[in-house]
């Protein structure tokens, strides 16, 4: 193992490279790639790598980037791509297709504001657009987590009980272009963690049509199987953590990550790097006697409903911090999380950092002060931070 100074973009590319090489004795590795700010550094680094059995395909659009991944994966290769924002929106049709074909593709998404007007800064609206695609979604808080989640994603997605694609999300610039120390494991360890991909339904010579024509009953069955598989991913997550820890000596974070939640009366629920800022604000609140705690949702799909419910059970006030907006209905995280909050709690939605506004501890402190003063929840609020 070596410690390297890497941005999250480069961390994802390095992890994908190691995972790709780990499949050299299998059907190989590849991916269709297409640039978009602030993801491009990831695919640029990937395009500089040498593979014993692998090639990167420089395509003409995100839609085809996923199209090439689908072709590679359905033929049994391990695949990776990366995108962001409008690129993900353009890719969406094939994002659905990849999941419906049950292909364990891993994609790194840099969370960026959708446009126009063009805005390259962080916002979770792009990957939340893909919420219902049937992909597993992981949101990361630092670069090591991005690196680990790419490896973890292959292990989880390629598990025969799962067979689903995995989206590894990270915040634009806050992570994508910020250098951090990354523990990069040796190839032998990655080989041990990631067995060769053996896709049970790969296209070979048997005359089957993959993705042909379903009538309603077939679709009901396919959706049920898909729903059961993504639900199983939640259970198998723990096994993958154990295996990851056994091989690499560190344990990836749980599906939800609590901070000082044991006796918390106020919970601040968030995703991505906002959670790190929340920790600072929680410490400050605690110093002045306010029993605040942070709760980060790392795995957004499958949604950790039971875990969130248990973690929030004793909270009187729950602030849900969205870095996204479902226009016409507040934040997406709020609309899903409020269903698992205690019945008598004040549950308030704060949308902050939309369009990449710099969320600082003082903004979180303002959220804590606001919710402390509320007898009941108001409409979802957009907090200006920029």
Partner 1 sequence: MSEPLLGGAVKTESDRPEQILRPGNTNCGGCGMSITLRMLTHAAARQHPVQLVIPACCAIVAPGQYPYSAYGAPVVASTFGSAAAVASGLAQVARMNGEKTRVIAFAGDGGTYDIGMATVSAAAERNEDVLYLCYDNEIYGNTGGQRSSATPFGAATSTTPYGKDILKKDILAIMAAHRVPYAASISLAHPEDALRKMHFALESAGFRFLHVLSPCPTGWKAEAAEGLELVRLAVRSGLYPVYEVFGGHRLVINIEPEMSREALEQYFAKQGRFQKSKVKVEDVYESIERAWRDLRGLAALRQEG
Cα separation of 95 and 257, whole Å? 27
Tokens of 329: 């209905």
Segment near partner 1 (CB under 8 A); pick from 205-213, 228-236, 321-329, 334-342: 205-213
Per CB under 8 A, does 186 bind partner 1? no
Distances (CA, A) of 11 to 3, 164, 349: 11, 22, 33
One residue of 3, 50, 116, 213 binding partner 1 per CB under 8 A: 213
Q: At what angle do helices 8-21 and 143-158 cross, to 10 degrees?
A: 30
Token look-up 């295996």 returns 243
* Residue 181 near residue 8, CB atoms below 8 Å: no
Segment near partner 1 (CB under 8 A); pick from 141-149, 211-219, 240-248, 289-297: 211-219
Minimum CB–partner distance for residue 268 and partner 1 (Å):
40
One residue of 114, 180, 196, 203 binding partner 1 per CB under 8 A: 203
One residue of 16, 18, 36, 69 binding partner 1 per CB under 8 A: 69
Which 3 state secondary structure label does DSSP give 174? coil
Tokens of 18: 């190691």
Distances (CA, A) of 128 to 15, 112, 119, 331, 332: 24, 11, 17, 10, 8
Closer residue to partner 1, CB minimum distance, 205 or 263? 205
**322 beta partners:** 351
Strand order in the sheet with 266-270: 256-259, 292-297, 266-270, 317-322, 346-352, 381-383
Which 3 state secondary structure label does DSSP give 272? coil
Site for partner 1 in 256-315 (CB under 8 A): none
Minimum CB–partner distance for residue 130 and partner 1 (Å):
15
Closer residue to partner 1, CB minimum distance, 2 or 209? 209
Per CB under 8 A, does 195 bind partner 1? no
Per CB under 8 A, does 200 bind partner 1? no
Site for partner 1 in 75-134 (CB under 8 A): 75-77, 79, 93-94, 97
Distances (CA, A) of 124 to 84, 105, 294, 319, 369: 10, 21, 19, 17, 25
Closer residue to partner 1, CB minimum distance, 13 or 68? 68
* Residue 176 near residue 8, CB atoms below 8 Å: yes
Token look-up 């501890």 returns 361
Minimum CB–partner distance for residue 206 and partner 1 (Å):
6
Tokens of 331: 């934040």
Minimum CB–partner distance for residue 55 and partner 1 (Å):
6
Segment near partner 1 (CB under 8 A); pick from 57-65, 143-151, 158-166, 365-373: 57-65
Closer residue to partner 1, CB minimum distance, 98 or 345? 98
Per CB under 8 A, does 165 bind partner 1? no
One residue of 35, 38, 67, 353 binding partner 1 per CB under 8 A: 67
One residue of 53, 131, 177, 286 binding partner 1 per CB under 8 A: 53
One residue of 47, 49, 63, 314 binding partner 1 per CB under 8 A: 63
Segment near partner 1 (CB under 8 A); pick from 47-55, 127-135, 229-237, 283-291: 47-55
Which residue, among 241, 186, 181, 249, has the nearest Cα to 21 in the 3D structure? 186
Cα separation of 293 and 288, whole Å? 13
Cβ neighbours of 316 (radius 10 Å): 14
Segment near partner 1 (CB under 8 A); pick from 116-124, 189-197, 209-217, 301-309: 209-217
Segment near partner 1 (CB under 8 A); pick from 58-66, 123-131, 148-156, 348-356: 58-66
Site for partner 1 in 7-36 (CB under 8 A): 27-28, 30, 32
Count of residues of this chain found to bind partner 1 when the rule CB under 8 A is applied: 43
Which 3 state secondary structure label does DSSP give 296? strand
Interacting residues with partner 1 (CB under 8 A): 27-28, 30, 32, 53-55, 57-61, 63-64, 67-77, 79, 93-94, 97, 203-215, 218
């Amino acid at each position: 193992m070596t410690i390297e100074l890497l941005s999250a973009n480069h961390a994802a590319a390095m992890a994908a490279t190691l995972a790709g090489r780990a499949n050299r004795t299998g059907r190989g590795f590849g991916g269709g790639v297409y640039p978009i700010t602030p993801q491009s550094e990831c695919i640029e680094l990937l395009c500089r790598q040498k593979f014993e059995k692998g090639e990167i395909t420089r395509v003409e659009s995100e839609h085809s980037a996923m199209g090439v991944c689908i072709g590679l994966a359905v033929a049994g290769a391990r695949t990776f791509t990366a995108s962001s924002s409008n690129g993900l929106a353009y890719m969406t049709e094939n994002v659905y297709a990849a999941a419906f074909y049950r292909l364990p593709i891993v994609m790194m998404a840099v969370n960026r504001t959708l446009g126009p007007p063009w805005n390259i800064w962080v916002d979770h609206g792009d990957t939340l657009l893909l919420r219902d695609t049937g992909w597993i979604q992981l949101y990361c808080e630092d670069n090591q987590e991005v690196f680990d989640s790419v490896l973890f994603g292959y292990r989880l997605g390629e598990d025969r009980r799962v067979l689903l694609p995995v989206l590894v999300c990270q915040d634009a610039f806050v992570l994508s272009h910020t250098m951090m120390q990354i523990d990069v494991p040796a190839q032998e360890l990655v080989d041990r963690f990631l067995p060769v991909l053996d896709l049970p339904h790969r296209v070979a010579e048997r005359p089957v049509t993959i993705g042909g024509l379903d009538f309603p009953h077939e679709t009901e069955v396919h959706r049920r199987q898909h729903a059961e598989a993504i639900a199983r991913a939640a259970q198998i997550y723990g096994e993958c953590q154990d295996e990851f820890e056994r091989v690499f000596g560190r344990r990836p974070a749980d599906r939800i990550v609590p901070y000082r939640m044991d006796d918390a009366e106020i919970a601040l629920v968030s995703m991505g790097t906002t959670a790190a800022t929340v920790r600072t604000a929680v410490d400050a609140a605690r110093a002045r006697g306010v029993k605040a705690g942070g709760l980060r949702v790392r795995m957004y799909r499958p949604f950790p409903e039971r875990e969130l419910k248990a973690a929030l059970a004793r909270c009187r006030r729950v602030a849900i911090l969205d870095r996204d907006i479902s226009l016409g209905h507040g934040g997406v995280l709020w609309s899903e999380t409020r269903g698992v909050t205690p019945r008598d709690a004040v549950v308030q939605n704060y949308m902050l950092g939309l369009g990449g506004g710099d969320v600082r501890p003082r903004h979180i402190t303002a959220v804590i002060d606001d919710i402390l003063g509320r007898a009941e929840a108001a409409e979802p609020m957009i907090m200006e931070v920029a």
